[in-house]
Structure 1
Amino acid sequence: MAALTYATVGSNRLDEAKTFYDALLGPIGMTALFEHPSGGRVYAQGGTIAFAVLGPYDGQPATVGNGGMAGFSFDTPAEVDAFHARALELGGTDEGAPGERGPGYYFSYFRDLDGNKLCAFKLGR
């Protein structure tokens, strides 16, 4: 069973953005979970990813929508693989093949026909 679970935003000023989101999200119970390879930060609520501020994957400047992404949670890595493969079969483009992105973090990324970025993932082992 899939579920929509988190959102991201892109930034061209990641250090400032992290300071902003630390202060904004902390009071509502979202805390930094890990630093993202783009220089951004991923936040969690109750130990679960809830929000992230990132540098866009394509290396282009962040704009409204560039860096934005919807994530779909799955129960197994095989379901992530199948969802990603299905998206590509339907004409989507690969933005990151399925694989482990950190201990217990299995992710895949793709864009839909209009270029909207989506993620399929499985958390935990």
Structure 2
Amino acid sequence: MKMNYFVFGTNNKEKAVAFYDALFDGCGLNKIQSEGRMTLWGNEEFMFAVAEPFDEKPASNGNGTMLGLHVDSIEEVDRLHNKSLDLGGVSEGEPRIRSSMHSAYVRDLDSNKICFYTSNS
């Protein structure tokens, strides 16, 4: 078994799509679908989406829920962390070595938590 896709709920799809369009630019995740309540980015290995909840209740971030995205280098961890902040995200942990991996933590515009990390030094 392997993870295939991950979805974050959003209360403002337009702003969320703009955030992730800019964040994923040059990262190998391309927009696959953008219609209705969901926008999806992906490649041959993984898909990510933001969506307005199907039940039409407000989206909320899960306490303890986090998406981890492995990237190729320390520089890419740092770049994505800084780009997230430039796009209006909030830092939850500056880039540094944690448990032998270089990682950084941010929250997106809906307070969903993301970890960018690399095991490459």
TM-score by length of 1: 0.47
- The structure whose residues are more often strand, as a share, is 1
TM-score by length of 2: 0.49
